[in-house]
Amino acid sequence: MQTALDKKYGQGKYHVADTTLGEFDGLRKAEEGNPVGVCAGPKAAIAASKIDSPIISMSTQWRGKAGNPYPYSGDKTELLDIGSEMDPCKTCALEENESIYVNKANEGVK
C-alpha cells in the first residue's frame, strides 16, 4: 500500500502504519463501542507520529460504497457539506482516547 501511495501522490506525502495503538497505550473500549485498535484513528495516529507537522484536529470519513451510515452530528454540521464526514465510533470518541491519539500523532513534531 505504501508503494502505491508513493507512486500516486509522491514519496512521503502519505504514510501507512503497520501497527495500531491499543489498551497497552491506555486506550479503553467504550460500552457498545468498537474493540480498541480496530478503527483507522489509532492507526492514523501511529502514521502521523512519523512526520514533523503538528496535528491540530481529527476527522472520521466514510469510505464505503453505500451511503454513510453514521453522518456527522456534531457542531457546525452546516459547514460539512461533503457527505463523507461521520461520527467516530463510541470507543474512538472517548475524550481520553482522543487525547491519546493526538499525543501520539504529535510525537514527531519538532
Residue boundaries of the structural domains of the chain: 1-60+90-110
Q: Which residue has the cell 460500552?
A: 31
Beta partners for residue 86, in sequence order? 71
User: What is the pLDDT at residue 47?
Assistant: 86
**What count of Cα atoms within 13 Å lies in the side-chain half-sphere of residue 97?**
24
User: Exposed/middle/buried for 56, CB within 10 Å: 0-12, 13-18, 19+?
Assistant: exposed
Q: Given a cut of 70, is residue 80 above it in pLDDT?
A: no
List C-alpha distances in Å: 71 to 16, 56, 81, 84: 25, 22, 11, 7
Cα distance between residue 6 and residue 12, in whole Å: 7
User: What is the pLDDT at residue 36?
Assistant: 95
Cα distance between residue 33 and residue 92, in whole Å: 8
pLDDT digits (tens, 9 = 90+) for 7-37: 888 887 776 767 899 999 999 999 999 999 9
Cα distance between residue 43 and residue 77, in whole Å: 26
User: Exposed/middle/buried for 34, CB within 10 Å: 0-12, 13-18, 19+?
Assistant: middle
User: What is the pLDDT at residue 9?
Assistant: 86
Greater confidence (30 vs 108) lies with: 30
